[in-house]
Amino acid sequence: MSGNALQYAGGRYLWIAIGLLAASFGLYWLQEETTPPSGGTWQGLTLGIVAGLLIFWLNYLGVRKRRYGQGGSLKGWVSAHVYLGTALIGVSLFHSAGQLGWNIHSLFFWLMMAVIISGMIGMSVYLSLPRRLSAIRKTRSRAEILEELEGLELASLERAADCSESISMAVRTALEQTRVGGSVARQLLGRDRSSFEEMTSDGGIRRSNQDQQRLLRFLSEQATQTRDAKETTALRHLMSLTARRQDLLRRVRRDVQIQGWLQAWLYVHVPLSIAVLLALVVHIVVVFWYW
Partner 1 sequence: MDLLIRIADEAGGNSDRELTLARIMLGSANEADLQLPLLELRHATLEMGREGLMLRSIARDGVQVNGNTVKRCVLRPGDLIELPGVGVHVEEAPGGFDAMLTVRRAAGHTSVLSAQKMSLADTFLAKRAFAWIGALVVVVGMFVVPFLFSGERAVQSPVAAVLSDHVWTSGELHAAHELVTGENCAGCHGKPFERVQNEACEACHGAIQDHVSAGFLAANSAPVAAGTLDFGANANERCGVCHREHNEPSTLVSDADSDCVQCHAADGGIDRGIDPLAAVAGFTPETHPVYEFSLPRFTLENFAGSKDDGWRIDAVSETEIANSPESSQLIFPHDIHLDVGEVSDLTSGEALTCGSCHSMSVDGEHFLPIDMETHCQDCHQLDFDESDPDRSLPHARLKEAVLALEGMLLKKYFDPDDTGELFAYRRLPDRAERSAGCTDTPDVCVERELKEIVEAQFAGDIGCAACHEFERQDSKDIEDQFWVHPVKLPQDFVPDARFDHQAHQVLRDNTTNDLLIGDQACATCHAAEASERATDLLMPAMTTCYECHGDRSSASQVALACIDCHAYHPRGVGDGGLQQNALINGAEQETQQKIVHQAAQLWETSAPGAGAGEVGGGTQ
Interface residues with partner 1 (CB under 8 A) are 32-36, 38-40, 99, 101-105, 107-108, 111, 141-144, 146-155, 157-158, 175-184, 187, 241, 244, 252, 256, 259-260, 263-264, 266-267, 270-275, 278-279, 282, 285-291
Residue 227 vs 285, nearer CB to partner 1: 285
Give residue 8's identity as a one-letter amino acid code: Y
Q: How far is the CB of 113 from partner 1 (least distance, A)?
A: 15
Q: How far is the CB of 159 from partner 1 (least distance, A)?
A: 10
Sign of CA dihedral 98, 103, 107, 110: positive
Sign of CA dihedral 70, 74, 78, 80: negative
Residue 53 vs 184, nearer CB to partner 1: 184
DSSP 8: G
Cα–Cα distance for residue pair 73/68, rounded to 1 Å: 8
Cα–Cα distance for residue pair 186/120, rounded to 1 Å: 23
Cα–Cα distance for residue pair 272/268, rounded to 1 Å: 6
Sign of CA dihedral 288, 45, 13, 117: negative
Residue 148 vs 162, nearer CB to partner 1: 148
Q: How far is the CB of 192 from partner 1 (least distance, A)?
A: 12
- Burial per residue of 10-28, b for 16 or more beta-carbon CB atoms within 10 angstroms, e otherwise: eeebbeebeebbeebeebb
Cα–Cα distance for residue pair 77/108, rounded to 1 Å: 25
Q: How far is the CB of 140 from partner 1 (least distance, A)?
A: 10
Residue 147 vs 228, nearer CB to partner 1: 147
Q: What size, in residues, is the chain?
A: 291
Residue 23 vs 146, nearer CB to partner 1: 146
Residue 50 vs 252, nearer CB to partner 1: 252
Q: How far is the CB of 68 from partner 1 (least distance, A)?
A: 20
The SS3 assignment for 291 reads coil
Residue 73 vs 141, nearer CB to partner 1: 141
Q: How far is the CB of 201 from partner 1 (least distance, A)?
A: 27
Cα–Cα distance for residue pair 112/276, rounded to 1 Å: 6
The answer to whether 187 and 260 are in contact (CB under 8 A) is yes
Q: How far is the CB of 15 from partner 1 (least distance, A)?
A: 32
